Amino acid sequence: MFDQFDLQFFSLSNFIWTVFVFAGFGFSVCLHEFGHAIVAYWGGDRSVKAKGYLTLNPLRYADVTTSLVLPLIFLLMGGIPLPGAAVYINKAALKGPVWKSAVSAAGPLATFVVALEISWLMAVLPTLNQLFPIPHEELLFQGLNLLLTLEVAGVILNLIPIPGLDGYGILEPWLPSPWQRQFRSYGRYGVWILFAAFWFVPSFSQGFWAIVQLIDRPLGASPALTALGFARFRQGAQLLFVLLIVGWVAYDKWRKRQPQSGRTAPDSTGDLQTQLATLEEQLEHSWEASTLSQKAWVLTKLERYGEAATCIEETLKLRSDVHSDWLLKGYIHQHLEQLPEAIAAYKLALNLQPQDPDSWTALGRLYAHLQQYDEAIGAYDQAIHHNADPTVHVSLLHLKSHAYFYLQRYQDCLALLEEVFENDPKNADANYNKACCYAQLGQVELGIAALDLALTENSAFRQQAQNDDDLMGLRSHPHFSELVS
């Protein structure tokens, strides 16, 4: 895997150069993931904002093992720019198959844009160097050639239609549901199968890099400079790899020594993966329902829904009288778009615990997703009746008001929104929904006033208001354009 050190390359300056190249590659991975997240947000998954994915900060969606160590190993072993970070998209929230495909395509598109920018920079650098001499120009060109090749390779690699890669993600929404479920269960093996193909099938690797060079050359890459840059990178990266491993081990030991202030839910992919490994080790010694249920929950948080479904079924074989297991089963089936199974699971959860507001809320949301709004309102009423948390109460009133809106019961919707204002007088969501109701009722002045209040409290609504058909009745007002611009 590792070459012998070459003293020509192995120096402090070369190590710093390697760090900068790796940082450039890491930044492009951030742009790739940001591409997924922003398109998902536009497509209806608002959870990506709450998860902190609408940023270029790698710490929001990266963990050291998958985002730094593994990609570095792959680069050292064969120059394969395997993806090293991930954003977790709630596909059930996306507006349709077109958006699901677009979310998957957005990552490779962002990577290709980076490749075009590097190509442009390489084209203008000779002119800039004549005007303003650039120190270590040859090192800069080697780094840019290497990065350009890695970006092009990353685009082609991600577009291969293997489960776990973006190429499959583009195709998946158009496949029959049984095929989707089957392929999802193999998703975690896709990258490893691909890596094995590079390692053990020379013709596959040769064909891949031939395609990369075919695209590379029109973009201005030099095979000689790329090879030289990669050789230099591998020498410096060996030390970088050692330092990362030492740093990670030291950090892990420090973290374990920190006092714990009670049990908290894991909030990063690394924590979840660690917990999953611990649970799997426990199951090897004792096949217990409680451990299986925890494993199903962790798999769900990792959005590995196919595996989570199998795990919760094993749990229910061992015990079938725990309300939370059925609630989790419903949640899993809902994300797998197996909606009849999800409804049945939620109802079984309610048979065991009829006063649980979470189960009633989940059932109401599912009915609303199916556009069965009368049933949704009944479920929300039960959730409101059994809920004692004021904050949750406001959220439930919102959900119920949405159902009234889609039933065109606008006066009932407005009455509920007034209840929201009693608890939260400056609620921007309620004012925005109020504006939509008034727009449907033709009460333009009241609608404009409510929209003004909503945008004052939350300017993020401006972009949504520009194209929201529910506000169509307000567009003729002279102040509408001024408000949303």
Closest CA to 199 of 78, 304, 320, 317: 78
What's the CA gap between 353 and 359, in Å, rounded?
9
**Tokens for 47?**
């959870």
Closest CA to 410 of 446, 385, 365: 446
- Provide block-wise average pLDDT over 10 residues at a time, the chain (485 residues): 45 79 84 90 78 69 53 62 64 83 93 94 84 73 90 91 88 86 70 81 89 91 86 77 74 55 46 81 81 90 88 90 91 90 92 90 90 91 85 85 90 88 82 89 89 85 84 86 81
Scanning the structure block, which residue is given the tokens 């039933």?
A: 407
33 catalytic? Reply is yes
**Tokens for 101?**
């495909």
> What is each CA distance from 300 to 53, 164, 465, in whole angstroms?
19, 16, 33
Distance, CA of 225 to chain centre: 35
pTM (predicted TM-score) = 0.52
pLDDT digits (tens, 9 = 90+) for 314-333: 899 888 888 889 999 999 99
Contact 468, 435 (CB under 8 A): no
Scanning the structure block, which residue is given the tokens 């727009």?
A: 439
What's the pLDDT at 254?
65
Contacts of residue 365, Cβ cutoff 8 Å, sequence gap at least 6: 376, 399
What's the CA gap between 176 and 390, in Å, rounded?
43
Contacts of residue 384, Cβ cutoff 8 Å, sequence gap at least 6: 357, 393, 396, 397, 400
Contacts of residue 158, Cβ cutoff 8 Å, sequence gap at least 6: 32, 83, 107, 108, 111, 165, 166, 167
What's the CA gap between 133 and 465, in Å, rounded?
50
Closest CA to 77 of 266, 205, 243: 205
Please identify which of the residues 33, 151, 172, 307 carries the catalytic annotation. Answer: 33
Contact 29, 67 (CB under 8 A): yes
The 8 Å CB, 24+ separation contacts for 317-322 are 318/287, 318/288, 318/289, 318/292, 319/289, 321/352, 322/289, 322/293, 322/352
- Beta-carbon neighbour count of residue 187 at 10 Å? 20
What's the pLDDT at 162?
87
pLDDT digits (tens, 9 = 90+) for 383-424: 888 887 788 888 888 888 899 989 999 999 998 888 888 877
SS3 278: helix
Residue 60 counted as domain residue: yes
Residue 264 counted as domain residue: no
Expressed as residue numbers, the domain containing 156 is 12-254
Residue 26 counted as domain residue: yes
Contact 95, 41 (CB under 8 A): no
What's the pLDDT at 279?
85
Residue 462 counted as domain residue: yes
Contact 327, 357 (CB under 8 A): no
Element (H, E) at 392: helix 390-406
Contact 215, 152 (CB under 8 A): yes
Distance, CA of 393 to chain centre: 29
Which of 209, 235, 254 marks a domain boundary?
254
Residue 346 counted as domain residue: no
Closest CA to 71 of 15, 144, 153, 168: 153
Which of 233, 254, 275 marks a domain boundary?
254
Residue 62 counted as domain residue: yes
Local structure of residue 58 (DSSP, 8 states): G
What's the CA gap between 185 and 172, in Å, rounded?
13
What's the CA gap between 369 and 60, in Å, rounded?
30
**Tokens for 405?**
């809106």
- Beta-carbon neighbour count of residue 255 at 10 Å? 9
Residue 374 counted as domain residue: no
What's the CA gap between 84 and 235, in Å, rounded?
21
What's the pLDDT at 155?
92
What's the CA gap between 381 and 357, in Å, rounded?
10
Q: Rounded to the nearest 10 degrees, how much is the dihedral formed by the CA atoms of 447, 453, 457, 459?
A: 50
Residue 407 counted as domain residue: no
What's the CA gap between 240 and 22, in Å, rounded?
10
What's the pLDDT at 454?
86
Q: How many residues does the chain have?
A: 485
Local structure of residue 6 (DSSP, 8 states): -
Which of 201, 229, 254 marks a domain boundary?
254
Number of domains in the chain: 2
Contacts of residue 137, Cβ cutoff 8 Å, sequence gap at least 6: 125, 129
